[in-house]
Amino acid sequence: MKENTFLKRLKVIKKNQDHLIEAVQTLIHLSIKAINQGGKLIFSDNGGSADIVGHKICSIILKEFS
């Protein structure tokens, strides 16, 4: 039986979890630094998920400021 695509992706994520966490933490740090220096963040996407991603990013950044 062919392995489920979701399970394949999950294995890759688990294998690289530490690197992914570090990358996200770096992104958050640089985003906060840019905002504190008067910069702005611009996010784009090619579909309806951009709105969802935008809300999630705002939530993450606001938690860091709290």
User: Do 30 and 24 meet the contact criterion of CB atoms below 8 Å apart?
Assistant: no
- What's the pLDDT tens digit per position in 47-57? 666 567 777 77
pLDDT single digits (tens) 8-49: 888 998 999 999 889 988 988 998 899 899 998 887 666 666
At 45, the amino acid letter reads D
Domain locations in the chain as residue ranges = 5-65
Cα 33 → chain centroid: 16
